[in-house]
Chain A
Amino acid sequence: MSQNPYQPINGEIVDIIDESPTIKTFVVVPEGAFRFETGQFVELTLPGVGEAPFTPSSSPADTEKMEITIMKAGLVTDLLHNCDKGQKVGIRGPYGNGYPLADFVGKEVYIVGGGVGLAPIRSLFLTLVDRIKDFKSVVCRFGAKTPDDFIYKNTLFGSWQKIDGVKIKLTVDGADGDWSGNVGVVTTILKKDDVDIKNAVVVVCGPPIMMKYATMKLLEFGFQAENIYLSMEKNMSCGVGKCGHCMIGKYYVCKDGPVFAYGQIKEYPDIWD
């Protein structure tokens, strides 16, 4: 029998972590080992309600459980936010291409993230620091609306900052008195000398508007379009390159992405919309 690509495997939400007023991380245990590469995505089904695509935020090294960080943004995510531990879910995937880690080896990895875009980045980050010696350095520039909107606060403000080979700078769009860091959108903390441009790759993930302006700035700095990796958000439904909703030009984001080098897709109109 040919495999049915539309059939999810069963899973259960075993823990729910509040990350910000609108974002929660769901710890999901699939029935049986579930392997994925960092940057690939899964389709998460809330049975009887609907299905939506998410990139897991946990390390692929953990095949027993998977963490999925979800912002309230529509019907399925609103209802997921109302769920309790023990909720049964369905999981399909993993789908698409993740980050091309082999091409990152020996280089500086420059990661630009914003808002819930830190979810795929967390998975990548954990994967990179597991083998940090393979990379020259990991340089992160993350932004959020307010300090409270940062997700993964405990590790982001704490242990991650202390890892050898990792440099993290944070910014917020607006803050009250307690915030001592930078205030301004994430592009305001991108500096030309953050990394050695000729020997670096960039990963950008966040809201479309942020990805657009960050990419423009990185190009101005002199980064090659081929070295800027974007995690594209489109309406991935089937996950297997058939249903048509997630097309960018001839590409199906679900199958040929969701990670694209900017150079691959820059010719197509409306990639940021």
Chain B
Amino acid sequence: MKTVFVGELKTLLDAVAGETDLYVPKRSGDYYIYSKYDPSAGAAVEFNNIRTCTPIKDFLFPVCELAATSPQPLEPKEIKPFAVFGLKDCDLRSIEILDKVFAEEEFQDPFYVKRRESMFIISSDCSQPGESCFCNLFDGQVFAQKGFDLNVSQARDGFIIEAGSEKGEDFIEKHSRLFTDVPEMLLAERDKNRAEAQKQLEQNNAEYQFDTPIKEVMENSTDSEVFDVEAKNCVECQACTRICPTCHCFYLYDTRQKDYFAKMKMWDSCMRQAYAAVAGGANPNKVLGDRIKHRLMHKFVYFLDRYGLDMCVGCGRCVDAGVGGMDIRQVLKKLSEELKDKDKKQAKVAK
């Protein structure tokens, strides 16, 4: 794939914004959030060295949207092409997971699919993985592996741009006068930077190395008390599910408008008490600990069984967001250690 060099990030972003709406990370306190790029603004363009605070699903699967109308049926509207800059490897992998649910199944969600097809993805390297990042535990890297149109890496005196799709190649081709060839030396430097950031990430998570695959740990932990213990600190704020880039539960509800009826599709959370309740009152997950267990079983067992992927990309957003302070890495570690102890005891008994 084509790889080129540009001195200023603004040059690239202006070229993109000249063609479509572009969303870029903007610093807000300790975090980055997305906002629409304004090429005329004088402010410096920022290269986000870590993922944004808000999940990428916002662009594909909005918090609330119109899903159907009656008596006249709703025609899903066309989506204007748009571009998003600054996605990290974890973000790209979260899109792969959402695609499994909304785009590759027997029933396609036309609202998701239209947005997905209209999205131009410009990813970038993670130069400073955060304390809560743990993508390395789920095959993640500090740079994009696949699923991007363009990827940007910060290098000495500029930025390396690599195409990852035909759309990306075409873009570079079309704007070739903006770019120059990449000096060999900078490519070597990029590899070195990536290796260093990856090392940093691995050091941050050194205490979370699992001998037994997480799926196996979960499958053997259904009777563990860890979930109920975690529930004691959980305040059911549901932030973990809202901010998770792979959580995709939603509910449909009906409203009455002035001259038509609308069916809305809105994010839901499996942490909510009545989430699985049926009319008449039966509810398989009345107890909070059971809901936490179900969420983790879905992420690490059920989704894997069904689609061949973990439903967690290790972005760590839930670690940052949870008011109760639950760290999913710690929960998995506790379960893993508990299982190890159980196995040891059993081995002792067997002797």
Contacts and interface: CB of A to CB of B under 8 A. Distances in A.
Interface in A41-69: 45-52
Interface in B243-285: 248-256, 261, 263, 265, 268, 270, 275-280, 282-285
A80 to B, nearest CB: 11
B107 A5 contact: yes
Contacts of A247: 276, 294, 298, 302
A52 B279 contact: yes
Contacts of A3: 107-108, 110
Contacts of A245: 249, 251, 268, 275-276
B187 interface: no
A243 B107 contact: no
A243 B254 contact: no
B284 A273 contact: yes
A7 B251 CA distance: 14
B280 A237 contact: no
B222 A2 contact: no
Contacts of B76: 1-2, 4
B282 A2 contact: no
Contacts of A5: 107-109
Interface in B52-109: 67-71, 73-76, 101-102, 105-109
Interface in B3-21: none
A45 B253 CA distance: 10
A243 B251 contact: yes
Contacts of B263: 6-8, 45, 51
Interface string A217-258: 000000000000000011101101111111101100001000
A48 B268 contact: no
A234 B278 contact: yes
Contacts of A52: 279
B270 A244 contact: yes
A208 interface: yes
Nearest to A74: B279
Contacts of B69: 7
A51 B265 CA distance: 12
B68 A242 contact: no
A77 B279 contact: yes
Most buried by B among A88, A208, A247: A247
Interface string B270-312: 1000011111101111100010001001100111011000000
A60 B344 CA distance: 57
A1 B73 CA distance: 14
B214 interface: no
Contacts of A240: 105-107
Interface residues of A, number: 46
Contacts of B305: 250
A241 B254 contact: no
A242 B107 contact: yes
Interface string B210-226: 00000000000010000
Nearest to A209: B282
A270 B284 contact: yes
Given A45-B254, A48-B261, A90 B70 contact: yes
Nearest to A89: B70
Contact of B254 (A48, A77, A208, A249): A48
A241 B107 contact: yes
B254 A46 contact: yes
Contacts of B249: 243-245
A5 B248 CA distance: 16
Interface centre among B68, B253, B277 (most CB of A within 10 A): B68
B113 interface: yes
B222 A249 contact: no
A189 to B, nearest CB: 24
Contacts of B276: 234-235, 245-247
B107 A273 contact: no
Contacts of A49: 254
Contacts of B71: 10, 47, 88
Contact of A51 (B74, B252, B256, B280): B252
Nearest to B249: A244
A273 B283 contact: yes
B279 A242 contact: no
Given A49-B254, A234-B278, A269-B222, A244 B268 contact: yes
Contacts of A2: 76, 108, 110, 113
B84 to A, nearest CB: 23
Interface in A1-31: 1-10
A250 B254 contact: no
Contact of B302 (A6, A76, A250): A250
A7 B253 contact: no
Interface string B100-131: 01100111111001000000000000000000
5 contacts: A73-B280, A90-B70, A237-B251, A242-B101, A243-B252
Interface of A: 1-10, 45-52, 73-77, 88, 90, 208, 233-235, 237-238, 240-247, 249-250, 255, 269-271, 273
| Shortest 4 CB-CB contacts between residues of A and residues of B | A74-B279, A48-B256, A240-B107, A47-B261
Given A73-B279, A250-B305, 13 more contacts: A2-B110, A4-B67, A4-B73, A5-B107, A7-B67, A7-B73, A7-B263, A51-B263, A242-B102, A242-B250, A244-B248, A247-B276, A269-B222
